[in-house]
Every structure is written in structure tokens, then in C-alpha cells.
Homo-oligomer: A and B are copies of this chain.
Amino acid sequence: MDSDYGIPRELSDLQKLRSLYQPELPPCLQGTTVRVEFGDGTTTADPADEPTITKVPDAQIITEHPPIRVGIVFSGRQSPGGHNVIWGLHSALKIHNPKSVLLGFLGGSEGLFSQKTLEITDDILSTYKNQGGYDLLGRTKDQIRTTEQVNAALATCNNLKLDGLVIIGGVTSNTDAAQLAETFAVAKCPTKVVGVPVTLNGDLKNQFVETNVGFDTISKVNSQLISNVCTDALSAEKYYYFIRLMGRKASHVALECTLQSHPNMVILGEEVAQSKLTLFEISRKIADAVQARSEQDKYHGVILIPEGLIESIPEVYALLKEIHGLLRQGVDVEKIASQLSPWASALFEFLPPFIRRQLLLYPESDDSAQLSQIETEKLLAYLVEVEINKRQKEGTYKGKKFNAICHFFGYQARGSLPSKFDCDYAYVLGHICYHILAAGLNGYLATVTNLKNPVNKWKCGAAPISAMMTVKRWSPNPGATSIGKPAIHPATVDLRGKAYELLRQNATSFLMDDIYRNPGPLQFDGPGADAKPITLNVEDQDYMGRIKKLQEYLEQVRTIVKPGCPQEVLKAALSVMGSVTEVLTAMSSSSGNTSSL
């Protein structure tokens, strides 16, 4: 950590222009009076603990705005747009009371633990508005979880007399935010904890959260590069490009990029997990594609691989679990191979040395493998080559030599200037954080729904993070089943959803016809500048909108079925509504709770 945080810096012409861009606010956040509506209480489906329900009044117009002190921390991995959450929050704080103070924690969670802060001012923000990275404040560890960490955070919030602590991050950071909120409440610490969904993985997704800050930018930058590679492949017609994409366990980034760029193939982790495809079945599937294309005299192609794929392959997952178990027991890396079960050992020994080394890396804080370090794309390219060579010897493959080039796209997208959408979304979320704190809510996540519409139709809200948490049963060892702590689990790609359906409809054409599409470099002006993720556009996610629609239906039934209506209408309505109520009661094992601004 150095002391250079927040210093003004030289910006390029484009960066300067972007720093002057002022994101729009939806009407509900304009002006100084904001109406806050509260939904129902919430429970977490946790069989062990009773959740602490924060009691909230039913509705409220907040007119008084005493000065407040808020701390903000980058907790998750850097995702484009993060800086705008800080800007949005700072702006909302100062609009409502210029005496309010925003403290940024320097060096991420470590700054939170050690009380290193920087007071955010408009001057400091000036060269960071609408800019990428997390370099205004930096980030370090991506968890606030151990007793020591939680106690340090508590001490910091007490010492700095914070009314609010805003945590910027993804599923892990927001799980931590919820736990911290509970701990603070129990410890009678007055600091309210608020989470903000900022993660390039796009996996913090549920009925309250449509997409995450950074996902749009990452998808656009990656799609630009994937499309460039597609064009390159088609120009020279001699290489298969295997491209692995950063995005953690779920395949959202890979799906979105596929819909944007139309590469020949994508292997979604969710498909593999559902069909229980083995590593060899996947390689054979790709080899079949290579063979089918060779029969049309095509010797080039582009294949996308989400970094989480490796963990979705059942036998590799089992192997990883064994390795991680041994590592946690303190077994020396050199000795792990000899202590694997016979079956895992057979797979391990079969793999090429470079992958073996990567599988032996210590797992991440969320118990997953170090996905960014495992070159699944090289493993698959290698296995496909082996398979094609085998077929060539057997005479079933008659085409030219198979040539693969491998890529990993992630770091080169993560620091990008954020797209207009991410700039707007993050800025609005920053404003919402203020209103959550002003309403005195603890353990809530700032949310915006109806995102596929223009900003002036966006619906701002907040939802208790605990309502997004579930409990997973998992088996650390064969034979034993354990119940985990409640956590936000990464949402996987919905294989019954519209985005996936769109992929399936086009998969054959993508595979065979090279209908590559180049969305081009991220633009801030002109066509494409206001484009949003395709998955966001095709999905039907307007949860709050649909609740309003339901309320309209109920109102219509009430209007039709009132004193004076015919008996048969009343009877029919009663019968139908009785069944509906019964079914819905059965379905509702847990219920959500939202607050909309």
C-alpha cells in the first residue's frame, strides 16, 4: 500500500471527456425529498439459525436530513464502474446535507481493518469520475469474515463514529456485508451496513438484482476482443482459437459474449454440470465440431470457455475436492499426488503436467479453485488435438492438421473505462445507498430494477441481503453431509431462461456458418454507446413491475366481484382464488422483502 491514493493524475483526452460525463438520475432520486416504501419482513431458509429481522415501518417520506458519517470500501475484485458508486454516494450525501462526511478506506478491506481513510471530496473525485479500476482507494483481501476481521471492522466503525458502512463487491462481499450487519446489530454498534452489487461476473442475480455493475463493460470489452479474433480466424482460416473468459463459477460472461460476437461454440459450465459431461466427452464434442467443419473445408474457429468450466466437470470437481481437502490438512504439495484416491489419482496422472501444477494451487477464499490460474483452454485444445490425431490415424478424420491458439481474457478487460450503462447504474446505486442509510436500514443491498428501460424508467429499491441468501447442503467427504452457513450463492445461467434459449436457437448456425458479428470497441457516443447486455434485454426480469401488474389484477377482481355481482361469478372467483391461494401458500416456503424508493 502506498500513499498515492486519490492523487490527481494525467488523463488522456478520452478519459477527460468521460470525467465530465454526468450520469442521469431516475425521477424518484431527483430533488431532496424521497419517498421510501417498505415491503414485508423476510426470512432466510436457514434451518439452523433464526434470522434477525430488522423491523421497519410501512412507509415514510424522509424530509429531515441530519449530517451523517459514512465509510465506503472496495471489498470484491475490481469491476468497471466501482468509482461511480463512491461518486453517487458522495453526491447524494452532499445534496442532502453538506456537513455529511464520506470516508474511503484505503487499500480495501485492509484499510477498513486498520482505519486508514481518505475523506472523499469533489476535488479528489474529479479524475476518477466514470473511470475504470479501483485505484482511487485500492483493494486487497476480498473477505471480511474471520472473527479478527469482523472485530477490526467493528472497532473501526465505532472509532470513526460511522452511521453507515457501504461495501462494494460481489456475492462474497455482500454475504460478508449481511453477516457484518447482523454482528453490528447484536453488538449494538449504530453503524448500518449497506451492500452494492458490483461484480464483473454478473452472478449476483436474483429477483431483486437484474445485473451487476461492471458486467456490461466486461462483456463489451471481451466481445470486442473475441470478435477481433473471429475476424482474424476467418481471414487466415488456419487456427482454432480457444478463449477462456474470466467470470468465476457461473458462465454469464461467456453467454453474453456469445450472443454479442457469435463465435462458433461455447461450452457453458451449467450445461456440462446438467448433462454430467466428462472431460473426454467435452473434448470429443469439440472434436466432432472440428470434424464437421473440416467436411465443409473449414479449418478455423473460435471456442469460448468460461473459467468456471473446470469445476463443472464432475470428475475434475471430485479431484479438486480431494486436492483441496489434502491441502487444508496441510499435506505438502509434492506429496498430494501419492495420497489421492485410486480413481482421482488415475485422472490426475493422465493430465498434462502444466494442468497438474495448476490444480494443486491452494483454493480461493470462497472454496473454489484458483480459476484464473487454471488453463482449461489449453487442456481442452490439447485433448482435442489428441482426439483429432487419433481419428486421423483411424481414418475417420480426413482434414488438415488441427492448430489451436489459446487465450485468457480477463485482466485486460477488468480495468477498462466503464460503459455508459455501468457509469449510470453505479452512480444511481451510490445515490440509493444514501437513502438506505437515511431510512436507517441495516443489511440491505441497493437495487435498481427495470434496467432494460431508459434511466428515467428505472425503479430504485433496496432489499435485505438475507433474503438473497440460501443454505447449501454439501458433502466435504463422501458419505457425510453437512449444512453450510447462509450465503449468497452465485446465480448460474438459467438453462430454461430466454437468453439460453436464444443461444440454443442459433447454436448450429454459429457453429457452421461463421456468422461472426463484431460489436466493435466500446463507444461513448453514437450507435452502440447506449447498448445494454443482450441477456438483460431478453430476460424478463421486472420483478417489481410484475408485482405491480399482479396488484392490478387483484384490483380488477375486486372491482368485478363486489356486492351485486352475479352468484356464479362470485362462486367461480371464490373457487379459483381458493386454489390459487392454496398453491401459492405451498410454494412460498420463503418470502422476500423489498423496500422501494
Task: Spell out A's residues near B (CB within 8 Å).
Answer: 1-2, 4, 9-18, 74, 77-78, 107, 131-135, 138-140, 221, 224-225, 227-237, 241, 296-298, 354, 405, 407, 409, 411-417, 514-528, 531
Contact = CB atoms under 8 A, between A and B. Distances in A.
Contact of A2 (B15, B230, B298): B298
A14 B528 contact: yes
Please tell me how many copies of the chain the complex holds.
2
Contacts of A15: 517-518, 520
A519 B14 contact: yes
Nearest to A522: B521
Contact of A13 (B225, B236, B521, B528): B528
Top-9 shortest CB links A-B: A231-B415, A133-B231, A228-B415, A232-B415, A14-B520, A521-B521, A134-B235, A13-B527, A225-B412
Contacts of A405: 411
B138 A523 contact: no
B414 A228 contact: yes
B132 A231 contact: yes
Contacts of A14: 518-520, 523, 526-528
A186 to B, nearest CB: 32
Nearest to A238: B140
Chain A interface main SS type: loop
Contacts of A78: 232, 235-236
Contact of A236 (B11, B139, B235, B524): B139
A235 B514 contact: no
Contacts of A2: 237, 296-298
Nearest to A136: B235
Nearest to A222: B412
A527 B405 CA distance: 35
A228 B407 contact: no
A194 to B, nearest CB: 22
A17 B2 CA distance: 45
Contacts of A514: 4
Contacts of A135: 231, 234-235
B407 A412 contact: yes
A520 B130 CA distance: 12
A256 to B, nearest CB: 14
Contacts of A236: 77-78, 134, 138-140
B237 A12 contact: no
Contact of A523 (B107, B227, B524, B531): B524
A234 B133 contact: yes
A407 B415 contact: no
8 contacts: A10-B517, A14-B519, A14-B526, A17-B527, A132-B231, A133-B234, A221-B521, A521-B523
Nearest to A233: B415
A387 to B, nearest CB: 21
B525 A525 contact: yes
A296 to B, nearest CB: 7
A241 B414 CA distance: 14
Among A4, A9, A18, A133, chain B packs the most CB atoms within 10 A around the CB of A133
Nearest to A108: B236
Contacts of A412: 225, 228-229, 407, 409
Contact of A229 (B13, B241, B415): B415
B524 A526 contact: yes
Contact of A521 (B131, B234, B416, B516): B416
B235 A12 contact: no
Contacts of A415: 227-233, 235, 518
Nearest to A3: B297
A12 B523 contact: no
A234 B2 CA distance: 10
B9 A515 contact: yes
